[in-house]
Amino acid sequence: MSTNGLVYAPSTPDWAKFRTFEYLYQVSLIADNPAYLRHYMVATHAMQTQSLLTSNAQLLEVNRGILGIQHGSEILTAAARQGYLFSDEDMKRQNAIIMDVAKQLSKKMEGEIREIRNSALSAVREGCSPEAFDQEGSLREALQLFRITVEHPTGMRDYVAWFNIGWLLWKLDGNLDEAEKAFATAVRQSMEKKDAYHVMAARHLAYMRFLLGKTEGAYQGIRLALHITSDDPENLFAQMLIAAQATNVEELITAFRTMVANHPEWLVVCLAEPELNPFQAQLQPVVDALVEDARMQVREMINKVKAKLQEIDDKATPIPYTLLLSATNQQKITAIKARIDRINVSATDWLTLDSLFIELMAVNTDAIRIGDEIRPIYDLITSMVTIPAGDFLYGEKKYRKFLPAFSITKHPITVAQYRQFCDITGREMPHLPRECMHDDLPIVYVSWHDAVAFAEWVGLALPTEEEWEKAARGTDGREYPWGNEWDASKCSNRVEDIHSNPRLVGKHPTGASPYGVEDMVGNVEEWCDNWYEIANTRVLRGGSTHYDSDTFRITYRYKDRPTCYGRCRGFRCVSRSPGQ
């Protein structure tokens, strides 16, 4: 027998032969019975040869296996005629060849079945499109393709195909009996998956049985669906219909309450359903209670929004709105107030109450965000420390000086405070390295001009050297804000941070000055309003983490051009009485 060119090509398949062929292969793979395997090899030799004679270059590995089977079959046939005597090695070799061929044939056929199912799904999508040229034609084509899928052994357990068959039988021909069978098959075959198709199949099975008047069977199907997705409105609606059919008012009301409370848009569907008309008297109190609860929730949300708006207004009383709110946020506040004033909760229906509550939640989130955005500057202004009028000891030689009362910010200006300034004025934020970007770090990489611009915008000023020193030193001429002895634990310094990065403000309250002003030395150097003795340079005070402890003495002075900036440069602000 010539075996040259023997190949498998399923382009024009004989489905009956393939089904038989695949079945015999499957049996041979699971039957640990040498006698049966010998019988199979002899009895199916001719059928194999005839089924696989065409050309297909894509399955060379299969061809090799088939050629091996043919060669082995001749040996087995001769052995069979002599009493089925052959070696274990021959059996193992032939079994391995059969398994390999079966796997590759199965893989190829599964791919073809998937292609058919995908074509069917495309036809369903086309048939459901309002723009389809021939909707019914597309759906009937889909039904035919899905049937081909499940008629083949590889596709018999394709529950997606079975679900679509049921749906198409129902939609196209109203064939409830056959649709019920198809949905039941889809449910049974998808029990292990319990995916979306399982839920849909269970729900549709319940509905088919409801339409057929099989109430108990309908309950069985809908309980399967509800077990997976108990809050799905379609499942709940099907449960309501079945409960109505069974005159189970208690279950009907429970499903109705759950559905309408979580999916208010389904109230219209319920009101339009004839099956539910006899139960309107029982369902109306549920709607009334839900409406009242919704009105209460809306009122509570309105009160939350009003409270947040009042908080913003209270913060803006001592501080101009322009310092706290950008033009965009001011417009939002105005729009929110106008929207709140237009709401008439008592005259609002159920659907509007639900959408209104969602809208108010978003409005409240906006108000909270705006409140958070104004906090940095509000905290800056309201936390300033008052330095009383009087004499103090100034400089290395401790000259006695008098200063009028003034106020100074408790901490250096922070990243968050400077960002609010930039957001509202449109000024460009400094390009900070990642380690300097935390909101509660002192702002750095700002020049003297940047510091002045911020101070003027907020209605303050940069401190003079004398003001800065008195706020840091008090009146007794001490060396450090906390006393006369160096203590690295009382300020941010390079002992704590070998990378010399700024530290969070307020981290060292025990190192505060006698007036309670913090971070006066360590952390960052701070721009002052004074010119230095050298031309075109401005004074900086307070040693930064970039330098050694000697620079942390209150009297230490540094200088730089007002256009310069860097990792260790920050500032704080003062407020003086009018006329100072």
- The model's pLDDT over 220-252, given as tens digits with 9 standing for 90+, comes to 999 999 999 988 999 999 999 999 999 999 999
pLDDT, position 23: 45
Q: Which two tokens stand for residue 292?
A: 């009242």
H helices then E strands: how many in the chain?
20, 9
Number of alpha carbons in the 13 Å side-chain half-sphere of residue 182: 26
Q: The domain 386-576: what is its CATH number?
A: 3.90.1580.10
Per domain, the residue ranges of the chain are 15-111, 157-263, 287-381, 386-576
pLDDT, position 37: 43
More confident residue, 80 or 54: 80
Summary mean pLDDT of the chain: 82
Quick one: pLDDT band at residue 526, thresholds 50, 70, 90? Answer: very high
The SS3 assignment for 558 reads: strand
Q: What is the pLDDT of residues 133-152, one digit of tens each?
A: 888 999 999 999 999 888 87
Q: Which two tokens stand for residue 87?
A: 């070696």
Q: What is the pLDDT of residues 163-219, one digit of tens each?
A: 999 999 999 999 999 999 999 999 999 999 889 999 999 999 999 999 999 999 999
Indicate the range of 81-90, 278-287, 450-459 predicted with least confidence: 81-90
Residues 6+ apart with CB under 8 A from 270: 237, 240, 256, 259, 260, 276, 283
The CA R_g of the chain, rounded to the nearest whole Å, is: 42
Quick one: pLDDT band at residue 9, thresholds 50, 70, 90? Answer: very low
pLDDT, position 8: 31
pLDDT reading at 497 higher than 80 = no
User: Of 10-14, 42-46, 92-96, 290-294, which one has max mean pLDDT?
Assistant: 290-294
pLDDT reading at 54 higher than 60 = no
Spatial separation of the C-alpha atoms in residues 525 and 447, rounded to whole Å: 12
CA 253 from centroid of its chain's CA atoms: 35
Spatial separation of the C-alpha atoms in residues 330 and 363, rounded to whole Å: 14
Extended beta strands in 373-532, E state? 385-387, 390-394, 399-403, 406-408, 525-531
Asked if residues 324 and 315 have their Cβ atoms less than 8 Å apart, the reply is yes
More confident residue, 394 or 57: 394
Question: Which DSSP letter does residue 500 get?
Answer: -
For domain 157-263, the CATH class is mainly alpha
pLDDT, position 112: 77
Beta bridge partners of 386: 407
Asked if residues 8 and 67 have their Cβ atoms less than 8 Å apart, the reply is no
Angle between helices 233-245 and 215-228 (to 10 degrees): 160
pLDDT reading at 95 higher than 60 = yes
pLDDT, position 16: 44
Indicate the range of 2-16, 310-324, 460-474 predicted with least confidence: 2-16
pLDDT reading at 498 higher than 80 = no
pLDDT, position 60: 43
Quick one: pLDDT band at residue 157, thresholds 50, 70, 90? Answer: confident
Tell which residue, 449, 453, 410, 442, has the closest CA to residue 544.
442
pLDDT, position 309: 92
Distances (CA, A) of 14 to 3, 58, 69, 183, 524: 21, 19, 21, 29, 85
pLDDT, position 47: 42
Tell which residue, 174, 198, 200, 196, has the closest CA to residue 187.
198
pLDDT exceeding 90 applies to what percent of the chain? 55
The length of the chain is 580
Asked if residues 408 and 512 have their Cβ atoms less than 8 Å apart, the reply is no
pLDDT reading at 75 higher than 60 = no
Quick one: pLDDT band at residue 24, thresholds 50, 70, 90? Answer: very low
Spatial separation of the C-alpha atoms in residues 325 and 420, rounded to whole Å: 9
pLDDT reading at 267 higher than 60 = yes
Quick one: pLDDT band at residue 13, thresholds 50, 70, 90? Answer: very low
pLDDT, position 545: 77
Query: SS3 for 246-302, per residue?
Result: CCCHHHHHHHHHHHHHHCCCHHHHHHHCHHHHHHHHHHHHHHHHHHHHHHHHHHHHH
Please state the rounded mean pLDDT for residues 434-441: 92
CA 444 from centroid of its chain's CA atoms: 34
pLDDT reading at 508 higher than 70 = yes
Spatial separation of the C-alpha atoms in residues 362 and 518, rounded to whole Å: 39
pLDDT reading at 465 higher than 90 = yes
Q: Could you tell me what percentage of the chain is helix, strand and coil, using 3-state DSSP and rounding each to the nearest 5?
A: 60, 10, 30
The vertex-180 CA angle with 177 and 182, nearest 5°, equals 110
Spatial separation of the C-alpha atoms in residues 575 and 353, rounded to whole Å: 50
Spatial separation of the C-alpha atoms in residues 200 and 121, rounded to whole Å: 16
pLDDT reading at 1 higher than 80 = no
pLDDT, position 541: 94
Quick one: pLDDT band at residue 499, thresholds 50, 70, 90? Answer: low
Taking phi first (over 0 means left), then psi (-120 to 50 degrees means alpha), and beta for anything else, what does residue 564 get? beta
Q: What is the pLDDT of residues 530-556, one digit of tens each?
A: 999 888 999 999 988 777 777 889 999
Quick one: pLDDT band at residue 313, thresholds 50, 70, 90? Answer: confident
Q: What is the pLDDT of residues 342-393, one digit of tens each?
A: 999 988 888 888 889 999 999 999 999 888 888 898 889 889 999 999 999 9
More confident residue, 438 or 321: 438
Tell which residue, 553, 528, 384, has the closest CA to residue 452.
528
Q: Where are the alpha helices (DSSP H) in 317-457?
A: 321-324, 327-342, 350-382, 415-425, 448-457
pLDDT reading at 45 higher than 60 = no
